[in-house]
Amino acid sequence: MSRTVEAEITTLCYVEKDDQYLMMHRIKKAHDINEGKWIGIGGHFLQNESPEDCLLREAREETGLTLTSWRLRGVITFLYADDAAEYMFLYTAHGFTGTLQPCDEGVLEWVPKSEIGSLNLWDGDRIFLRLLLENAPCFSLKLKYDSDDRLLLAELDGRPLSI
């Protein structure tokens, strides 16, 4: 007998411009698991959306930008304490139109890629941001956290990473 697995499905995107990533400092949303962290833009799928549909909608909603060029970089499996798994499609985008608008979830800021490591990031985000900066081929990354936000496990393409 097979069992249905409950999971969240999301996208995350790092928009690139002039050797910078567009980052969101999550300081506006109440009861936010990402409170105080710096992350890319993105969010949860709506019914019948493809990953690209979600990516484009979330970019417009959170930034006012219309993405014109993007690339799937990886799929991240997040396991957090006893919560349902989250499967995240990770993108970078290097083309867009429009004007950056304020976001109700956090403060948007262009951050030089060389300064990303000094930000308050999830430990797992540091791993996939490094892979993005190294221009790694499309990857699968599994990250497991405990309820105290400690990274317990990281596996890249099914192989353990030292953390």
All domains of the chain in start order, with CATH: 7-158 (3.90.79.10)
Check: CB of residue 127 under 8 Å from CB of residue 161.
yes
Residue 99, amino acid: T
Check: CB of residue 108 under 8 Å from CB of residue 22.
yes
pTM of the model as a whole: 0.94
What is the structure's pLDDT at 126?
A: 98
Say whether pLDDT at 157 is over 70.
yes
What is the tens place of the pLDDT at every residue in 129-140?
Answer: 999 999 999 999
What is the tens place of the pLDDT at every residue in 57-104?
Answer: 999 999 999 999 999 999 999 999 888 999 999 999 999 999 999 999
In the block, which residue shows the tokens 């992350």? Answer: 39
What is the structure's pLDDT at 2?
A: 67
